[in-house]
Each structure stands twice: as C-alpha cells, then as structure tokens.
A and B are shown apart, each in its own frame.
Chain A
Amino acid sequence: MNDKVNYQRELDEIRALFGYDFMALALAEPAEYHYVIKWKYASGNLNERFKDIVLQSGRGIAGMVFKTGKPFMFASVEQDVPRDAMFNYPIIRTERLTSLGAVPVWNDTRVAGVLLGGYRNDQRVTLQMMQELNELAHLGIGALNGKEYTPS
C-alpha cells in the first residue's frame, strides 16, 4: 500500500527532526472495523504490541486527544500518573515511556488522527515542544490535510 509507506516514512522523519525516542500515529479504522482508533504506525518502537491496542473514544491517550481535539502531555509519567491509573495508558507500559505528549491531527475540520512523541530516559517533553509538534501536525500528515475546525 502506497499510503502506508508514506506514513511510516513521514513518522520516521518527524522523529528524527524532533529527537523523540518513540513516535506513534493513531488513526481511525475504516468503516468495516467500526472506525475504532488504533495506533497504526510507530517509529522507534520496542515491539509490535502497540498494534493490539484498541482505543475507545475518551479512553487512553489517543482516545482523549481524539475526543477533545486538544494536545495532551505527561511531562513526567512517574509524577503525573498515579500508579493505580497507569493501566489506562497501555502505550506507556508497552513502550516504557517516561515522558510523552500527543497532539490531534486534523482533516477537513475533524480530528482524524493522533500524533504521539515520547522519551524513555530522563528527557522531558515541554509545552514548547508540544506547540511545535502541534504546528507540524497542522501542516498535515499523509492523506490528512491538517485543516482544523474554527468556529465562525
């Protein structure tokens, strides 16, 4: 599939540009899979387990960004996520992330994807970095044009 190659290459390039340890892109599945949200592409991943995660709207990191259309971050997983709430964020566990942030990827005024970047060491995601990632997402990724909904 041509699309797939593009997304993967773009994701690898974005990761190289920003210097994240791990990046992933969540997209909605086609109609026959009920448009569920899954992590479709990853760069710098430790394993393939991210592919098994199916997110419900409003659940998990991608689910929340998808629903709210707002960037989201855990500057420090250790400090920001209570231990007994960690199970809500399987991607943190499977990829052993210590700091992460995610931004919505828009397409025709709808949230169509979620772009996540994270670290596994003591580097921390900052608001500044989130803003940069958000700006990049607004330029569009793959087939998504990045056009956000703006109430007139």
Chain B
Amino acid sequence: MKPMHEQEQINRLMSKLYSQSREAIFFFNTAGRVLYMNPAAERIVDDEVLRQLYEGHAETICRVCRGYMSETELRTCIACYFTNPESERFSSFQVYLDTVGKGVIPYAASYHTLADEDVHVLMLRDLSQQFKTQESFYQNKMMKHVIHAQENERRRISRELHDSVAQELMSAVIDLRVLKYMTGEEELLKKMRQTEESMTRLLDDIRNLAVELRPAALDDFGLEAAFRSHFKRIQQSYGVTIGFESNLDQQRYGSELETVVYRIGQEAILNALKYADVDHIELMLREENGRIWLIIEDHGNGFDPADDPIGTGLGLYGMQERAELVGGKVSIYSEKGKGTRITLDIPIISNTHGEGQ
C-alpha cells in the first residue's frame, strides 16, 4: 500500500484523467449495463443511445458497435469482446463504432475486468487520424513506386527500340542501298528507291517513338541536352518556339531528380501548347543556393486557378506529386489574359547521388 497522500494524489489525477481524457472510457457491470462513462465516451454516442445506456438496457452498446477486427475478419461479432471478456486477445484490439457526426470510425480498444469488483472497463482511442496519416504515407510510397516502375519500363522499351529494332532496320536500309548498285534495271531501281524511302521513314518513326518514351539523352548527357532536343522537336512538330536559358552546363544530378525536372518541364510545355494559344514559351533552368529551379512562362490565355480545369486537371496534380518525390515544390501563377508561370524548385542535397531507379 502506498502512503495515504500519494494514494490521494493518484485518485485526484485519475478522476481528472477520467473527465478530461480524449479517450472514451466505459464501465460496465457483468450484465453488460453501463455504470459510468466519461465525457469523451458520451460525445461518441447519440442522445437516444446515451439515454438507453444510462437506463441500463443490456447490450445497448451493440447499437453503436460495428464489430471488431479478428484474425480472420475485418469486422466481426463472432466471439465478441463483450461476451468473452476473459479472452487474451481483448487486452488490445481494434473496434469500429458508429459515432455521432463522424460515421463509422476505427478505435484502438482494450477491454478488461477489474478484479473483485465485477466491473469491466472498455477504453477507446480514436485511430482515424493515425489511419489517415498512414494512408497518405502509403499512397505517397505507392505513387513513388508507380512512377519509378513507369520510368523504368519506358526506359527499357525506349532502349530496346533504339538499340535493337532501329539498329536492325538500319542494317536492312544499308543492304538496300548496296542492292541499288547491283542492277541497272530502271524498274527495279525505282522500286528500291521507294522501299528505301518508306524504310527510312519507318526508322525515323521508331527513333521518335523511343525518344518520346524516354530520351536516352536524359540518361547519357543530362537535363540540358535532353531539353534542347525536346524543344527542337516541339518547334518542328507544333511550330511553337521555346526560349531556353540554363546555367547548368554539363552538370549532372541524381537520376531521380533529373527525371522529375524533365517530366515536369515536358508537362508544363504541353499544357502551354494545349491551352495558352501562344507562339513562344520561355523556359529557364538554373542552379542557385543548393537548389534547382525550373521556370516555365508564357504570355498566353492564362487561367484562374480557382476555376474548374479545362482538361482533367490531373496534369497539375501530377506535377505536384512528382515534385514531392524529391522534396520539391511546384507553384503556379496564372492570370486570365496575362499568361502562366510555373515554378519548380528542388533542394539538391540528398538528391545528388540518388540511388538511381
């Protein structure tokens, strides 16, 4: 036994805990009637149930309880904690309650018996916030995996097309050229020229496809080179010029960071092509104070960020997601009739020697 004054202090603290705790505490007698419940517990259940609980109807708790999680089921009433208080598993378990205002939410629960008192105590701790945190953490991790997997797959197919398919086709074209010197027959020569022409165009199509999937230049020569060749293609295909300014020179960073910067730049340019209605887009790439900055700017239509997106709106979301993968941030500034500016900044530290992908 503890000295009297200590015991008193414990009692005082316990009663304060009982009334102030965010954890819900229920005291039941052996018949399953509520003896007492603390304010946190009262907040969970609606007034009608509360009244019935206090009036002492047995098993009223079942009106709010939506089952507990067992080894085999997500939510079950089989071998309920209420009827099997002695079971070892109910020292800590997860239970679902239909609460006022928040719907069905998960709780971490414990159900135990106070010896010599014939009283059971049910204590509940709200898990929804914890679950939300866990879920967003998990989502982020999954997104990262998906993006990695996608980039890897694109890189693999791109390399395959470039190194294997295009190479093979190239040697066929060369064979065809050699063939032309083996005959003087005009009819044959004409046919060969036509075949060479379509094969050469096919070869270019395959190379374009490979670059569009993932430019080898990004892996081999870095951001600046990859951007430059991308812009050349944009200018040729869409007639839009892109002003490119960079102070990176030949500087290389982790593969993950480079991929993020390239993809976000690509997406921003595509958005400008689709919606801005401009002939010129400015892109700036620089390293400053240990951070990478990417700025894409146009003086076109612009938009109100508060409006419903014209497209899916997923492009902007995807940019943000990608940036977060490397601890970066995308900010979008746009005004109707004035244009749009998208800024990406990423800290280089911890990204310099990325583990690759």
Contact = CB atoms under 8 A, between A and B. Distances in A.
Given A31-B200, A34-B204, A83-B275, A49 B310 contact: no
Interface in A60-119: 60, 83-88, 90, 93-94, 108, 110
A58 B196 CA distance: 19
B113 to A, nearest CB: 66
A59 B212 CA distance: 14
Contacts of A110: 194, 198
A56 interface: yes
Contact of A60 (B194, B197, B204, B237): B237
Interface in B264-311: 273-275, 277, 310-311
Interface string A27-57: 0100100111000000000000100111111
B205 interface: yes
B181 to A, nearest CB: 15
B337 interface: no
Contacts of B277: 93
A87 B273 contact: yes
> Max chain B CB contacts within 10 Å: which of A31, A36, A90?
A90
Contacts of A90: 237-240
B78 to A, nearest CB: 54
Contacts, number: 59
Contacts of B236: 52-54
Interface SS of chain B:
helix
Interface in B196-217: 196-198, 200-201, 204-205, 208
Contacts of A28: 197, 201
A90 B238 CA distance: 5
Given A31-B200, A34-B200, A108-B190, A84 B237 contact: no
Contacts of A49: 239
A35 B200 contact: yes
A87 B236 CA distance: 12
Contact of B237 (A55, A85, A86, A94): A55
Contacts of A94: 239
Interface residues of A, number: 26
A53 B239 contact: yes
Nearest to A110: B194
Interface residues of B, number: 22
B235 interface: yes
A108 B274 CA distance: 38
Contact of A84 (B196, B204, B238, B275): B275
A53 B237 contact: yes
Contacts of A58: 205
B317 to A, nearest CB: 16
A94 B274 CA distance: 15
B208 to A, nearest CB: 6
Contact of B201 (A57, A60, A83): A57
A65 to B, nearest CB: 14
Contacts of B240: 87, 90
A35 B197 contact: yes
B239 A52 contact: yes
B208 A56 contact: yes
Contacts of B275: 83-84
A105 B5 CA distance: 105
B57 to A, nearest CB: 62
A149 to B, nearest CB: 11
Interface string B212-241: 000000000000000000000001111110
A61 to B, nearest CB: 12
Contacts of B274: 83-87
Interface in B107-128: none
Contact of A108 (B194, B198, B205, B310): B194
A87 B273 CA distance: 6
Contact of B311 (A52, A84, A87): A84
22 contacts: A31-B196, A31-B197, A35-B200, A35-B201, A36-B204, A53-B236, A53-B237, A53-B239, A54-B237, A56-B205, A56-B208, A84-B274, A85-B274, A87-B240, A88-B238, A90-B238, A93-B239, A94-B239, A108-B190, A108-B194, A110-B194, A110-B198
Interface of B: 190, 194, 196-198, 200-201, 204-205, 208, 235-240, 273-275, 277, 310-311
Interface of A: 28, 31, 34-36, 49, 52-60, 83-88, 90, 93-94, 108, 110
